[in-house]
């Protein structure tokens, strides 16, 4: 049971996930400061509100004993901006470089793998033997033989460059 847990923890995906959580937590502070310090004041200025969180539609005013009901679309907009910023940075800082490195490694691995030489099948070999025997018999009798069958396996072996 402990061996299975150890294998799970040491698997690459778990380590990658842990690193992503730590980086994400550290990055959240930067994005929060960016949204609250730059974007929220600009949006609040556009909608003539004291702050982006205060931007909204009042459905019912506050009265004796009941609070006001406000649809605070400013908070939703702020959270949406923050999400889009985090998603953009994660995509451009992590996903794009990783995809590039993976494609480069895949191309290198693809180039390193040499194609296996073409091996004629048993049927091709038997047909070639038959044609050789027929040509030999026809030569002994002085009769023209039919053209030999070529399976293409020999040509493929000759066309492949040697390493």
Can you tell me which residue has the tokens 């794009």? 96
> pLDDT per residue over 69-120, tens digit each?
888 888 888 888 888 887 887 788 878 888 898 888 888 777 766 666 678 8
Each domain of the chain, given as residue ranges in start order, spans: 2-97, 122-159
Alpha-carbon distances of 58 from 43, 51, 66, 68, 80, rounded to whole Å: 18, 15, 14, 7, 21
CATH 1.10.1200.120 fits 2-97, yes or no: yes
Which whole number is the average pLDDT over 129-158? 68
The more confident residue out of 95 and 141 is 95
Number of neighbours of residue 106 by Cβ within 10 angstroms: 10
Q: Helices (DSSP H) in 39-121: which residue ranges? A: 40-46, 73-90, 96-112
Provide the mean pLDDT of the chain: 77
């Amino acid at each position: 049971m402990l061996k299975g847990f150890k294998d799970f923890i040491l698997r690459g995906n778990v380590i990658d996930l842990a690193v992503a959580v730590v980086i994400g937590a550290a990055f959240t502070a930067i994005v929060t400061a960016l949204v609250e310090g730059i974007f929220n004041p600009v949006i609040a200025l556009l909608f003539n509100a004291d702050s982006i969180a205060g931007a909204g539609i009042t459905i019912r005013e506050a009265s004796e004993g009941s609070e006001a009901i406000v649809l605070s679309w400013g908070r939703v907009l702020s959270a949406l901006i923050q999400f889009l910023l985090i998603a953009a940075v994660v995509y451009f800082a992590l996903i794009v470089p990783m995809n590039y490195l993976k494609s480069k490694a895949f191309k290198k691995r693809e180039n390193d793998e040499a194609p296996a030489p073409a091996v004629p099948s048993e049927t091709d070999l038997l047909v070639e033997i038959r044609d050789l025997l027929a040509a030999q018999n026809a030569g002994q009798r002085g009769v023209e033989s039919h053209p030999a069958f070529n399976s293409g396996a020999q040509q493929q072996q000759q066309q492949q460059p040697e390493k």
